Structure 1
């Protein structure tokens, strides 16, 4: 069996201040046909695993594009169309194929395309025809459209947030799509629209048990796969919002019944699965009074993983005002400050203007006397099964002992490496401020005494009840208590 694979993904914050262009994909590593060789621990890792599984079963994989950009604003039309067309060209050259596996995000929006994934899948379908299975792996923060569902055969989303199961979901998708290609199953999908906007951490109850329940139902009584797409609240598209879907073997009615049943269970938990973030003042005070640390302060609204600029200074200023200096903060995206530090060199002491560069949601720049402690070229971190570039990383330390990590490529902290590879010590600190909504949790929660989610201003605000959309209706929970009536 010959399997065709391609990877095209970014998460689009449609209100993001910086568009996503070709250079943003190149910064994360852009490869056509050889990411598994040239970037095997980066996003090429998905192709590596797929090829290993296929080889073990006597199959071959034709690897096409690998293109991933850090979440940001709307993708340039020219970049999206070029990458999509490369995938189609490579597919035509690879024919005949017996299956297609696409690694996508599910919330990519380009100029002129609200549903990049649906558009790409449709064009792939036009090439392979109706008889070749198309399997798609999505981030759970996806917009699941009718086009995506009708033009593919199996869609599987990550179950975990943070996404610690990316490779497990690929293994699941591979097993199902090859079984379909061999004629052993006939997948059909049913969807339950939850009419909800929000975020749901699978690291705590009752979400933890709900995810475990989904997994326990799979592989039994003809149920092949169950996915809960949380949706991406900061992408304004006709399909924005949470949806749950069930893939069954040939029985759509059974799939719909289970999707509706689980959807009702999830709806019933809505008030127990979400807590609003703390104010900056309240969170900083908890950290200040904590008998021992570190206390994690998650700067959820300035998360570059949701398209924020990762340069806001609100929590930094809050720590300074409260006199909490035994703290670490990062990674702040500030290429200008990094260039100044590179010019001055390690060991230099200077007054550095940090953050606050990208508009009102970035806050006011903070001028701090600092000593440059380290400069690391090609700084990177592991996370979610891949390796993520941070560009040039810089560690600066204030006169009072606060450590700040700067970078030239935006990426939320998913590994202790963000700090430790610069030389910054984390254990025993009073506070650690992370520019992340949740993906920090797997690595940082084990070293933390407390984890606090902080509602500072930012372009990834979690005030879901106040969100308003132009391309979908605004009849959703929690904006409306019962949008189903």
Structure 2
């Protein structure tokens, strides 16, 4: 048996001004061949699971591409074709099966559905080839994705700490089908619900109950996999939305029933998928009354893990204005500031115009730097290995990194975008986050993987940025209409017919 294993991942924020060229993939990690095996074997990533399965079955395997970039704007043509062509060319050489680690919300300069396009190309080359697909919980599920694979599954956790487990599950299903042990059939639906990622945490309602339903479904005889996708609402595409897919062993009728049960519960909970705002000044003032730390302050509108520019200073500026003390920030993207600090040297006092390097035309804002004075506390190369439960074993490369200490606030400043989901973002530069009173994190939900065990309280801070949860400042042009909450669908709106 010969298998093709591959990773091609990007969560595309169509409102983001950040370029997604090949260099952005290289900055986070782009590997081929044996270098890909070395990078991912033994990690808690889907490719790690696929490699394990191949070895268990005594199969040979090739990894033509393993690439991922931090979320940003649409993927440029050259970058997409480089990845897709590498995978398709390897399939064309001949194989018995394909195991893919994709995202599910990739938008390119030419295609709204980057994953569906890749799968359709593979199917054209090898119409009968078995294909397993692992997708992110924020997938915008499309017909082309479903029709061009054998079986697919999504993560059941947000933050995503089960990537390895779900990849192993779907990989086994497809490999078993190749041996005649099962016959996967899929039933799916995409609801007209543009739920917000800030309300998709799987430790919170309504996702907590919906995920429980998928686990209960998988415990039933004949149900091989069940997934509910929260969707990614920052991708303004026709088929964006919340969806459900069931993989059954030959029993389509049973799959339909399970799908509809979960979809109806999802639709009934649509109001709870929408974030309720609080004025920033009020949120920071409330945080100031809390004396037991760490208190987490989430700068969620500038979450680089959803395509934020990571250089908006609104929340940091308000925290400084209100005089909060013993604060650490992760992280501000500002390569120029890092260079200035490195040139000045550790121990030097510098005055910087920090952040605000990026204009955000989609929300009508220009970059606004914050003038700030502090001491250069640390300068590093920004490399460290994740030890927490998400991306375990993966090497993070933040690029040249520095810490600016104002006396009250310590700010981690990076040269490459990186969402703070692991405490290594602080520890690697000499900050012990558990001893801080406040931690400002440019994150939405992934921070929980590393920081939830430390937190005494968590407050969402509604600043500015292209990952805002305020739909009123976003101009949706492509998404299907009507869709909730952009359109206030009547309470008696019936569950839409199945997408298939």
Q: TM-score range by the shorter chain?
A: over 0.9
Q: Does structure 1 residue 354 correspond to structure 2 residue 335?
A: no
How many aligned residue pairs are there? Answer: 481
- Gaps spanning 5+ residues in structure 2: where? 495-500
Instruction: Point out the more displaced range, 163-172 or 58-67.
Output: 58-67
The alpha-carbon distance between structure 1 residues 277 and 64, as it changes in their structure 2 partners (threshold 3 A), is farther
What does 1:454-473 correspond to in 2, within 5 Å? Answer: 454-464=461-471, 467-473=474-480
Cα deviations by residue, 1:123-148 (Å, 9 ceiling, x for unpaired): 11122222x21111111111211111
CA distance in 2, matches of 1:254, 1:276: 37
The alpha-carbon distance between structure 1 residues 163 and 29, as it changes in their structure 2 partners (threshold 3 A), is same
Match of residue 158 from structure 1: 155
Question: Tell me, what secondary structure is at the counterpart of 2:261?
Answer: helix
Of 105, 112, 122, the residue aligned with 2:110 is 112
Match of residue 190 from structure 2: 193
Match of residue 249 from structure 1: 249
Match of residue 172 from structure 2: 175
What does 1:260-275 correspond to in 2, within 5 Å? Answer: 260-275=260-275
Match of residue 370 from structure 1: 374
CA contact (8 A) 1:287 1:430 kept: no
Match of residue 414 from structure 1: 421
CA distance in 1, matches of 2:311, 2:424: 19
CA distance in 1, matches of 2:439, 2:323: 15
Match of residue 311 from structure 1: 311
1:350 positional shift: 1.1
Instruction: Point out the more displaced range, 268-277 or 197-206.
Output: 268-277
CA distance in 1, matches of 2:7, 2:247: 22
CA distance in 2, matches of 1:164, 1:274: 24
Q: Does structure 1 residue 384 correspond to structure 2 residue 391?
A: yes
1:469 positional shift: 2.5
Match of residue 326 from structure 2: 326
CA distance in 2, matches of 1:277, 1:377: 38
Match of residue 440 from structure 1: 447
Instruction: Point out the more displaced range, 49-58 or 466-475.
Output: 466-475
Of 132, 136, 154, the residue aligned with 1:135 is 132
Q: Does structure 1 residue 343 correspond to structure 2 residue 350?
A: no
CA contact (8 A) 2:210 2:228 kept: no
Match of residue 28 from structure 2: 28
CA distance in 2, matches of 1:242, 1:56: 35
Question: Tell me, what secondary structure is at the counterpart of 2:99?
Answer: strand
CA contact (8 A) 1:104 1:138 kept: yes
CA distance in 1, matches of 2:42, 2:119: 24
CA RMSD of aligned residues (A): 2.0
The alpha-carbon distance between structure 1 residues 37 and 89, as it changes in their structure 2 partners (threshold 3 A), is same
CA contact (8 A) 1:466 1:479 kept: no
CA contact (8 A) 1:284 1:318 kept: yes
CA contact (8 A) 2:131 2:174 kept: yes
Match of residue 411 from structure 2: 404
CA distance in 2, matches of 1:45, 1:166: 6
Match of residue 498 from structure 2: none
CA contact (8 A) 1:334 1:406 kept: yes
CA distance in 2, matches of 1:128, 1:248: 23
Query: When the two structures are superposed, what TM-score results if normalisation uses the length of structure 1?
Result: 0.94
Q: Does structure 1 residue 300 correspond to structure 2 residue 287?
A: no
Q: Does structure 1 residue 147 correspond to structure 2 residue 144?
A: yes
CA distance in 2, matches of 1:472, 1:324: 41
- Gaps spanning 5+ residues in structure 1: where? none
Q: Does structure 1 residue 481 correspond to structure 2 residue 479?
A: no
CA contact (8 A) 2:239 2:480 kept: no
Question: Tell me, what secondary structure is at the counterpart of 1:452?
Answer: strand
Query: When the two structures are superposed, what TM-score results if normalisation uses the length of structure 2?
Result: 0.92
The alpha-carbon distance between structure 1 residues 44 and 269, as it changes in their structure 2 partners (threshold 3 A), is closer
Cα deviations by residue, 1:211-269 (Å, 9 ceiling, x for unpaired): 12211210423111111111111111111111111111112222122111111112222
Instruction: Point out the more displaced range, 449-458 or 301-310.
Output: 449-458
CA contact (8 A) 1:395 1:424 kept: no
Question: Tell me, what secondary structure is at the counterpart of 1:356?
Answer: coil
1:274 positional shift: 4.5
CA distance in 1, matches of 2:118, 2:207: 32
1:393 positional shift: 1.6
1:424 positional shift: 1.3
Question: Tell me, what secondary structure is at the counterpart of 2:185?
Answer: strand
